[in-house]
Amino acid sequence: MNPTDASAAGVVAEALAWLAQDPDAETRAELQQLIDEAGAGSEDAVAELHDRFDERLAFGTAGLRGQIAAGSNRMNRVLVSQAAAGLAAYLVARAVPGTAPSVVIGYDGRKNSRVFATDTAELMAGAGVRATLLPRLLPTPVLAFAVRHLGTSAGVMVTASHNPPDDNGYKVYLGGRDEGSQIVPPADAEIAEEILRVAAELDVLELPRGSYETADEAVIEAYVAATAAVASAPRSHVEVVYTAMHGVGWQTAQRVFRIAGFDDPHLVSAQIDPDPAFPTVAFPNPEEPGAMDLAFAAARAVGAELVIANDPDADRLAVAIPDAASTDGFRRLSGNEVGALLGWRAAEQAAQQPGDGGPSGTLACSIVSSPALEAVATAYGLEFSDTLTGFKWVSRAPGLIYGYEEALGYLVNPETVRDKDGISAAVAFLSLASELKANGSSVAEHLDRFSETFGHFASSQISVRVTDLARITTIMAALRADPPAEIGGLRVDRIEDLSDGFGSLPPSDVLRIRLDDGARVMVRPSGTEPKLKIYIDASSATGSIAERKAAAIATVSQLEAGMRKLIGSE
């Protein structure tokens, strides 16, 4: 390191201060090596230190999520300790005088998940918060359930969901009037402020630690019973293949399936046990190409009628059905297809409830999900709510009876949890498949009936990954400054800029482009990855089912080509 390089000297000083309070031998050794290399003149090491310390991993409505490594811009025990102390301060400041706030903490099977959870429990307890740790690694929906079931002030789930293996994360839920939903503004900013105060003023090694409680099996048993109740009694046996994607879903899902009356599915044995290395998949996300290849192979081997997959923390569900036209013999349904079918099921159940005023309740989905759910709500006389992206918003829809978002997230039992739940969604879809088979039908035929009843809805998504986040800002600014009059030859009717809020929606960096024929294009930066995401939806209710499909798909293809040209991503 050049001693005259003030920037290098400054970042090394930051790294040394961080090193002095790091309780983790692995990240300490890794950081010490970088400091030594920077001191020896390595420009790469200095650049790496800048990348780790020039910014801080932001705490927002998605909590924290990032790569496990040393530094303020990574996930590690120092950062998690600061987050725990900040959250504790937030809870204590807002507690009813004379009462202690409380928190329940869960964790999945990723690297350091239990360590981060235990640190959180001890530091919360040391700060005067009654802390309860779930007894073992468990799915995220169990933690979301526990916040309400135990009546705690807050919940913390240590998970990075379906992120790459080197990542971990920290999700925060609030009890009380938030009913166990994830945090939304202004709570996120207020918690972040407390975290930054801790980081600026306190050494995490000097923070007091206390004793926490460990929840017993009764919490898990209550979740299993409530989730199994989502199912209707199986009417026909369906051959099913299940994969946990190297995550924590199977043990809990198996108990739910059995209590609901379903036979054990065939398992993708190589992916059934938790493994933080995720050895059989490039990305542990059912949406990624190749992630379900082993499940499809298992399904072909046993002649399965259905494939169901949970992501690693089991808050998402993927479904695949036989498809002779596919090279794999199976086709994964889109999140919008599953969301529409489960929404139709929820509407049917609402219509069957006794009462003189007809069905009541709200179907909700995120603004980037298909308009198909609104068509269902309209047909059944139900309320419909579109929300900002994320279940922190979907779960808050008034009168909610069902909600979903296109990224494989479904909430079929809002009275049990206030977050997406891949296990309850799985048992609901199993019930649907069983009912269809008993009536001599199938999921594929039911999708056609949906198109016949409500119109055919087609969707597509463009995801532009960038190395420079400024490119996303540039594209969004250009679309606002010079709005397109047409896309792919289709005339734009209007563009709704959600940056200042729109209707009941809070402000968000989203453009909703409406076309003359009723089609829609949504453009937004990803909230968790360096990507620009574009969602395209079109529908047709004219002609035969085949004609409706062809028309909707053609419009989507036309708009996709037009958008790629417009943003320079052909």
Is 490:563 a contact under the CB 8 Å cutoff?
no
Distance CA 376, CA 344 (A): 6
In terms of Cα–Cα distance, which of 153, 158, 144, 155 is closest to 116? 158
Residue 129 has pLDDT above 50, yes or no: yes
Residue 4 has pLDDT above 70, yes or no: no
> Strands, E, within 376-530: which ranges?
383-387, 400-405, 409-411, 456-465, 486-487, 490-497, 511-515, 520-525
| Residue 2 confidence (pLDDT) | 53
Is 241:298 a contact under the CB 8 Å cutoff?
yes
| Strands 400-405 and 362-366, bridge-based pairing | parallel
Top pLDDT among 62 and 481 is at 481
Same CATH topology for 60-65+72-206 and 455-567?
Answer: no
Average pLDDT over residues 321-350: 96
CATH number corresponding to 60-65+72-206:
3.40.120.10
Phi first, then psi, for residue 401 (nearest 5°) are -115, -15
Helices within 77-139 (DSSP H only): 77-93, 113-126
| DSSP SS3 for 16 | helix
Structure tokens at 45: 């090491």
| Residue 570 confidence (pLDDT) | 63
For 501-517, what is each residue's pLDDT tens digit? 998 899 999 999 999 99
Average pLDDT over residues 251-263: 97
For 306-316, what is each residue's pLDDT tens digit? 999 999 999 99
Average pLDDT over residues 354-383: 93
Average pLDDT over residues 420-449: 98
For 27-76, what is each residue's pLDDT tens digit? 999 999 999 999 999 999 999 999 999 999 999 878 999 999 999 999 99
- Residue showing tokens 């600014």: 477
| Contacts (Cβ under 8 Å, ≥6 apart) of 281 | 245, 246, 271, 288, 290, 291
- H/E element holding 421? none
Residue 345 has pLDDT above 50, yes or no: yes
Extents of the domains making up the chain? 1-54, 60-65+72-206, 219-453, 455-567
Average pLDDT over residues 70-89: 98
> Strands, E, within 220-356: which ranges?
240-243, 266-267, 306-310, 317-322, 330-332
User: What is the reported pTM?
Assistant: 0.94
| DSSP SS3 for 256 | helix
Say what percent of the chain tops pLDDT 90.
Answer: 91
Domain 219-453 falls under CATH 3.90.230.10: no
Three-state SS letters, 513-568: EEECCCCEEEEEECCCCCEEEEEEEEEECCCCHHHHHHHHHHHHHHHHHHHHHHHC
Q: How many helices (H) and strands (E) does the chain have?
A: 17, 22
| Residue 441 confidence (pLDDT) | 98
Structure tokens at 296: 């499809």
| Residue 529 confidence (pLDDT) | 73
| Residues annotated catalytic, as ranges | 161
Structure tokens at 135: 């007894």
CA dihedral 364, 366, 371, 373 (to 10 degrees): -30
Residue 421 has pLDDT above 70, yes or no: yes
Average pLDDT over residues 268-282: 97
Instruction: Return the amino acid letter for 17.
Output: A
Instruction: Return the amino acid letter for 355.
Output: G
Phi first, then psi, for residue 13 (nearest 5°) are -65, -40
Fold of 455-567: TATA-Binding Protein (3.30.310)
Instruction: Return the amino acid letter for 210.
Output: G
Q: How far is CA 257 from the centre of its chain?
A: 23
Say what percent of the chain tops pLDDT 70.
Answer: 99
pLDDT band of residue 457 (cuts 50, 70, 90) is very high
The pLDDT mean for the chain works out to 95
Identify any residues that bridge with 436 across adjacent strands, giving them in sequence order: none
| Residue 480 confidence (pLDDT) | 95
Structure tokens at 112: 């350091």
Question: Distances in Å between the alpha carbon of 300 and those of 240, 264, 333, 359?
Answer: 11, 17, 17, 41
